Structure 1
Amino acid sequence: MFSDVEMMVFMEELEEKIQLINDNVLLLEKDGESPAVIQEIFRAAHTIKGSSAVMGYEKMSRLTHEIENLFDRLRQGTMKVTTPMVDILFEALDTLKALKDEITGDAGEVDEAPVIQKIKSCLGETGGCAPAAAETPAPAGPVVSEQPDGTFKDMLQIDDILENMVREAEVRGYQAYKINIEVDPGTQMKNVRAFLVFESLQQVGDIIRSIPSAEDLQDGKYDQGFTLVLFTKEDQGEITNLLMSIAEISRVEVVPLEINGHVADGDTAVENNFGQQAAEVNETRKDSGDIKKAAAPHMEKTTIKTVRVDVQKLDSLMNLVGELVIDRTRLDRFSEIFEGKYGSDDLAENILEISNHLGQVTTDLQDEIMKARMLPVATVFNRLPRMVRDIAQKLGREIDFIVEGQETELDRNVIEIIGDPLIHLIRNAIDHGIEPPEERVALGKPRTGRVKLKASYVESHIVITLEDDGRGMDAAKLKATAVKKGIITGEAAARMSDREALELIMAPGFSTAQVVSDVSGRGVGMDIVRNQIEQINGTVELDTSVGRGTTFYIKLPLTLAIIRALMVSLGEQVYAFPLTNVQETLAIKREEIKLIRHNEVIVVRGRVLPLVRLSNIYQMEEADEERLYVVILGSAERRIGVVVHRLIGEQEIVIKSLGNYLGQITGLSGATILGDGRVALIVDARGLVKELGTEELAYAAN
């Protein structure tokens, strides 16, 4: 049995290698047969094959072995990349993902045999994967065989590079051993045995040379034995016992390596850093097993500087930082009171200094914890090129999909939510936006449509832009479709501006598709996009031009735990409006408030805005003052004015849940603790705009 840590490392590496193969297969199809890309895929498949075999997942090992065979043929130039081959490879990747889910229990039993048969058929010159030339067998690497007297035939060549490295090891207290290893004649998976030998020896030293080469050994391209050169501080008996504990290793010979008749004994014990040097040399081995270059002797040993941390621990740390932010705010308030009461004596100045320093440390700590929770948007973006390819093939489109800004980082909670909205938007861009190739040519456009996805930082937000060069959207057609589907009335459509008509695509049930397909057309998706993004305090905007394309702008907060808010008061109670929804603030007189259909409104720069009173929403007593303050809230294209008693100012607040006891309360999204210890309620600004910024009031000015 393997430990939880070993399983976690295996699954993470598996996910990484599957994604790497996926990305590179897309590159292979797009850019042609790049040797570097083919080699990268081959190595990734080889790694999965070896690790899955060690873990006992034979289905996965068999499948990746066939993928490896296919790319070995591509490396040799005996086959060419074709579209049917790429389709089979993607089917194999889907099967690999299913096998991964089978391991975790997220899927039932997976049959890998059909896709393996397809790959074998491809290798057998059928299925559209015919080779470019007659296949020539790969030359076998050198073998290590037994001589009649029972000793191993010595295949190791001592060259100047190896000699110099042995002398360096000797000075630093390392022993250089030549290790001859023999496996059982009936061993079925010789590559696994070699892999286990390497894994075991690298725990006690550094392998700097192998015959045959490490690549051939891990491919199983050896007869019955192989030779390694190991630098270690362990003795011969320890190495022998370690290797003999590996199953199907029948014989081991560990002898000190002789250089010009002299045995490197490593008697000089020196505190050293040679291990890292040898490891680097091991990574730069030539195919023949020789050393390509040696690392500088003075290079310092580097150690692993990363640790795996459970996400829940980061969430707990973020919560504690939030508490610290609250206490910092309270201390700032206390310092102001203390200074006002006692003046600028030494005690007051010391407290003020402590408060300022604590504020600085808290801000730095908050920033660092937020960074620790960040993930690059590449975790979402990397899944999209494959989806674009599949949809384009299904719909008969030719798409040039461009992705930029993958390194841009977001809070992990935000990352988890934006995946589905992006999928909906990209599906629509390809299905509704990009025209078929023949139609594009007739319009004077390139056959290949362009879809560009970009992420970038803008102030304290991240903006994700999705742009296409397709049909664009016609406001008049959108109005007509909405009226036909009964989403709005003809009268309301006549009052709409073009900008407001574009917002109709976000309405539930709205679709311009003439035919319902499995890609789009059912009238679901765009409303989900807006709802999901607004749930994380984000916004969605769009810009379009008929015949030239459409661009969506998704604006997202970097984190959800700590936000900037506008603080207001209603009597003695303090409320917070998230700044992402605050458009502006106004001071008005009572006589400026008008009535339209028994609803209060105000006119702001020629636009009639519905007006609501916070006191009515939360059933509190209205202040009898001539001068009133209005907070203009916005969500998408809707606006609403909220009357409050007093504006306090902007403040950074920590969002706290109302808890299971209170649950969801209309008009509130949470609470926060102020510097004086009081609780301030966070207004659900998006909900207020959606509920009270009604269509009739919104368009009453037109």
Structure 2
Amino acid sequence: MTNMDMSQYLGAFLDEATDQLKNLNELLLAAEQNQRDMGIINEIFRVAHTFKGMSATMGFDRMAALTHAMEDLLGLARSGEHLINSDDVDLLFKCLDSLTEMVDTIRGGGSDKTVETEGLLEGLHRRVHKIEEHPDGTGGTESESLELTPQEREWVQEAKVQGMSVFELHVTLDSYCLLKAARSYMVVTRMGELGELIKTQPGVEDLEREAFNQEFWVYVATHETPEKLQTVAAGISEVKSVEVRPVAFDDRGGLSIEAMTITLESEEEEEDVAEREAPEAAEVKSGQPAAAAASAAAPSAPAAAAKKSSRTVRVDIGRLDKLMNLVGELVIGRARIERLALEARIKAFDEPLSQLGRISGEIQELVTKLRMVPVSMVFDRLPRLVRDLSRQMGKEVKLEVEGRETELDRTVIDEIGDPMVHLLRNSLDHGLESPEVREKNGKPREGTITVAAYQEGNGVIIEVQDDGKGIDTAKVRAKAVERGIVSAEQAQLMTDEEAIRLILLPGFSTVDVVTDLSGRGVGMDAVKNKVESLGGQFQVYSKAGEGTRVQVRLPLTLAIVLALLIRVGEETYAISLENVEETLLVQKKEIKYVHGTPVTTVRGEILSLSDLAGILSTEVDREGIEEHPVVVVRVGRDRSRIGFIVDDFVGQQEIVIKPLGKLLQKVKGVAGATILGDGNVALILDAASL
């Protein structure tokens, strides 16, 4: 391929390579948790093979050589000669990092040859050679050890006393099976009826959630013959094949799987698979089990369907920015025309304006959606980070992710990746204790970090919470006094909340030993500065012994929303209709005071009231007014109700949210500004922060 040809396709290659690497990252994490799932191994092999072909076509030989070496290792796992383990995944992740570095280097105008890969290639070759000399996979002849919990060992011992045999059933479902959870449940139930169920792999919860590809394993203690187990399992609809292997008792009461395998697969299915997947089947080694061979071919059908149905176009974000600005001007212009037509009372404008409103509304909705992307683009990077750091620090960590589908503007998404990494590092290094310390304190050995995202008002909240030791406020105060930030007297008078805020100061750290992970004092203040540069807010909550929660509030910097216009004093304000539940007219005599807080009763429920004039420091004269307009909004994760007293309802209108300048972006309760139909500027209120 000539240089001209290569430059023509380089952009498309880099975009596709980035997608493939992201996919590979997720698949490697899944493979480590589901080592026996051949569907995942086959998919990893397919991605590596595709990446190698793309790289070679574009002339990136070093990239192609590395992926080829990865294929050699994956091929052994794919053929059943080797059961992939954490050491393999570590090595493959290092390869993934090098491939990512190459893609970034090429994107910046460099060459893949500047990235060192000799060490990785040597490591891959050594690993492959060792496995070839001593195969340890499901296709070998040596027995495999099966890890059991203490409870499962107890069940095995009882089975041994009762003279039962234990069998492993390797069940493969049809590639077109839509109800995997139901089919796996039927297999597990039938096996439980024929004996005592020891365990499943993946676990029962994962089977119920369909967190597996097409394969799963069932271990059962029974007096029945393996042929009987096989016949019953294979008789269930959409079960493609069943392999039964006897499992021996070891000296410690555990189990080891013997080499003998009994396989049952219908002739009709074999012919069907052969007809559909012949090209893929040719790549499978002769020693590969039938189920693994079928799994190797499985991705081709959905991949072909996806290729056929995928019709997407990549657009530069700068073009979307310009398009969004033009749509914003269109909305403002339409609002002014509508106002002029209303004032001039020109009836002939009604129908054209209605049509213009409908068309411009559809355009703005589409453009807004084009810019919004799910936070999963950032969250999907976190499991790998947690895995690597927890292994480095010797901690047991479970990561829980909520709200992956929550959407944010693409520009904001691009900026919050590094802050999220900082927050996760802090939780892992400073927050969570070692497994031994957690056990001593009566906690589970495994710590939990929860990352959540949800929309609230005109913004999105992202929270990172851990169940660790919390922030030692006494240590924070002592460090602040030591560094001369506050005096000893000031530190003594500080509340815990004020002490916690000290960790947000530049360079502040309570860590005595600097490591590669943290302790350099560039974490929390860097996150805070980045969030505030995006017009957001940053808060830290902590309780000693229970954990820490960091909350990041990110506003929508530019969006078109339907808003309720209200008047407070002489000024007009806007509140997004997404937050407004209803509007009321409340009689002055119906307003009571509870501990100094005004409340009223609405349909038998108590509604707290707040006067917007007081919050906004606006002077109003309501002398003699017996009826007050009230806007009822819902705020917070619990969606609690509060009523804001205003002076008048102006109406509703589509508005363009414009970000405030740096001097005004920290004003409490104000999310942005907009230009109204009459040309005047109105502030947009953020009900949640009010």
Q: Tell me which residue corresponds to 1:132.
A: 136
Task: Choose from 120, 138, 142 the match for 2:125.
Answer: 120
Q: Matches of 1:66 and 1:503 in 2, distance apart?
A: 50
Q: Matches of 2:400 and 2:88 in 1, distance apart?
A: 23
Q: Tell me which residue corresponds to 1:229.
A: none
Q: CA deviation at 1:571?
A: 12
Evaluate the alpha carbon distance shift between residue 61 and residue 217 of structure 1 in structure 2; reply closer, same or farther with a 3 A threshold: farther
Q: Tell me which residue corresponds to 2:470.
A: 472
Task: Choose from 10, 27, 48 the match for 1:24.
Answer: 27
Evaluate the alpha carbon distance shift between residue 29 and residue 624 of structure 1 in structure 2; reply closer, same or farther with a 3 A threshold: closer
Task: Choose from 650, 653, 674 the match for 2:676.
Answer: 674
Task: Choose from 364, 374, 377 the match for 1:376.
Answer: 374
Q: Tell me which residue corresponds to 1:66.
A: 69
Q: Matches of 1:668 and 1:388 in 2, distance apart?
A: 34
539-548 or 91-100, which moves further after superposition? 539-548
Evaluate the alpha carbon distance shift between residue 32 and residue 448 of structure 1 in structure 2; reply closer, same or farther with a 3 A threshold: farther
Q: CA deviation at 1:555?
A: 2.8
Letter in 2 for 1:328: R
Q: Tell me which residue corresponds to 2:116.
A: 111
Structure 2 gaps of 5+ residues are: 142-272, 287-292, 579-595, 598-612, 624-646, 667-671
Q: Matches of 1:445 and 1:665 in 2, distance apart?
A: 45
Letter in 1 for 2:533: Q
Letter in 1 for 2:388: D
Matches within 5 A, 1:77-226: 77-105=80-108, 109-125=114-130, 131-132=135-136, 213-215=278-280
Evaluate the alpha carbon distance shift between residue 543 and residue 359 of structure 1 in structure 2; reply closer, same or farther with a 3 A threshold: farther
Q: CA deviation at 1:70?
A: 0.7
Matches within 5 A, 1:278-317: 305-317=311-323
Q: CA deviation at 1:559?
A: 5.0
Q: CA deviation at 1:510?
A: 2.5
Task: Choose from 651, 654, 657 the match for 2:656.
Answer: 654
Could you give the per-residue CA deviations for residues 412-468 of structure 1, whole angstroms, max 9, x where no partner exists? 011111112211110100011000111112112222211122223345533322221
Q: CA deviation at 1:122?
A: 0.4
396-405 or 496-505, which moves further after superposition? 496-505
Matches within 5 A, 1:256-405: 305-339=311-345, 347-348=346-347, 350-352=348-350, 354-355=352-353, 357-405=355-403
Letter in 2 for 1:6: Y
Q: Matches of 2:308 and 2:130 in 1, distance apart?
A: 48
Q: CA deviation at 1:485?
A: 2.9
Evaluate the alpha carbon distance shift between residue 510 and residue 90 of structure 1 in structure 2; reply closer, same or farther with a 3 A threshold: same
Q: CA deviation at 1:579?
A: 12
Matched, 1:487 2:485: yes
Q: Matches of 1:83 and 1:390 in 2, distance apart?
A: 11
Task: Choose from 28, 33, 56 the match for 1:53.
Answer: 56
Q: Matches of 2:543 and 2:308 in 1, distance apart?
A: 55
Letter in 2 for 1:215: E
Contact 1:375 1:410 in 2 (8 A): yes
Q: Tell me which residue corresponds to 1:504.
A: 502
Q: Matches of 2:316 and 2:391 in 1, distance apart?
A: 40
Contact 1:48 1:61 in 2 (8 A): yes
Q: Matches of 1:531 and 1:447 in 2, distance apart?
A: 34
Contact 2:574 2:685 in 1 (8 A): yes
Task: Choose from 401, 405, 414 the match for 1:416.
Answer: 414
Q: CA deviation at 1:117?
A: 0.9
Evaluate the alpha carbon distance shift between residue 326 and residue 489 of structure 1 in structure 2; reply closer, same or farther with a 3 A threshold: farther
20-29 or 103-112, which moves further after superposition? 103-112
Percent identity for Structure 1 against Structure 2 = 40
Letter in 2 for 1:71: L
Task: Choose from 530, 552, 555 the match for 1:554.
Answer: 552
Evaluate the alpha carbon distance shift between residue 681 and residue 471 of structure 1 in structure 2; reply closer, same or farther with a 3 A threshold: closer
Contact 2:562 2:653 in 1 (8 A): yes
Contact 1:79 1:129 in 2 (8 A): no
Contact 1:511 1:523 in 2 (8 A): yes
Contact 2:408 2:556 in 1 (8 A): yes
Evaluate the alpha carbon distance shift between residue 76 and residue 677 of structure 1 in structure 2; reply closer, same or farther with a 3 A threshold: same
Structure 1 gaps of 5+ residues are: 138-207, 222-284, 340-346, 581-603, 606-610, 616-621, 628-645, 659-663, 690-702
Contact 1:479 1:501 in 2 (8 A): yes
Structure 2 residue matching 1:125: 3-state secondary structure: helix
Could you give the per-residue CA deviations for residues 350-409 of structure 1, whole angstroms, max 9, x where no partner exists? 435554554444333222111111212221112222222222222222211222332332
Contact 1:433 1:471 in 2 (8 A): yes
Q: Matches of 1:310 and 1:213 in 2, distance apart?
A: 41
Letter in 2 for 1:82: N
Could you give the per-residue CA deviations for residues 294-337 of structure 1, whole angstroms, max 9, x where no partner exists? 9xxxx9x9765433333222222111110011112213432442
Q: Matches of 1:87 and 1:613 in 2, distance apart?
A: 55
Q: Tell me which residue corresponds to 1:444.
A: 442
Contact 2:477 2:499 in 1 (8 A): yes
Q: CA deviation at 1:515?
A: 1.7
Structure 1 residue matching 2:452: 3-state secondary structure: strand
Contact 1:215 1:287 in 2 (8 A): no
Contact 1:467 1:551 in 2 (8 A): yes
TM-score by length of 2: 0.59
Structure 1 residue matching 2:443: 3-state secondary structure: coil
Structure 1 residue matching 2:315: 3-state secondary structure: coil
Letter in 2 for 1:501: A
Contact 1:461 1:556 in 2 (8 A): yes
Contact 2:471 2:542 in 1 (8 A): yes
Contact 2:575 2:685 in 1 (8 A): yes
Q: CA deviation at 1:287?
A: 9.5
Letter in 1 for 2:336: R
Q: Matches of 2:561 and 2:49 in 1, distance apart?
A: 46
Q: How many residues are aligned here?
A: 488
Evaluate the alpha carbon distance shift between residue 452 and residue 647 of structure 1 in structure 2; reply closer, same or farther with a 3 A threshold: same
Evaluate the alpha carbon distance shift between residue 456 and residue 115 of structure 1 in structure 2; reply closer, same or farther with a 3 A threshold: same
Q: Matches of 2:510 and 2:472 in 1, distance apart?
A: 11
Q: Matches of 2:108 and 2:285 in 1, distance apart?
A: 32
Q: Matches of 1:441 and 1:317 in 2, distance apart?
A: 56
Evaluate the alpha carbon distance shift between residue 368 and residue 481 of structure 1 in structure 2; reply closer, same or farther with a 3 A threshold: same
Contact 2:461 2:554 in 1 (8 A): yes
Evaluate the alpha carbon distance shift between residue 475 and residue 336 of structure 1 in structure 2; reply closer, same or farther with a 3 A threshold: farther
Contact 2:557 2:658 in 1 (8 A): no
Q: CA deviation at 1:15?
A: 1.4
Could you give the per-residue CA deviations for residues 591-632 of structure 1, whole angstroms, max 9, x where no partner exists? xxxxxxxxxxxxx98xxxxx99999xxxxxx999999xxxxx
Evaluate the alpha carbon distance shift between residue 656 and residue 378 of structure 1 in structure 2; reply closer, same or farther with a 3 A threshold: closer
Letter in 2 for 1:113: E
Q: Matches of 1:457 and 1:665 in 2, distance apart?
A: 23
513-522 or 552-561, which moves further after superposition? 552-561
Contact 2:540 2:551 in 1 (8 A): yes
Q: Matches of 1:369 and 1:311 in 2, distance apart?
A: 12
Q: Matches of 1:11 and 1:327 in 2, distance apart?
A: 40
Evaluate the alpha carbon distance shift between residue 402 and residue 577 of structure 1 in structure 2; reply closer, same or farther with a 3 A threshold: closer
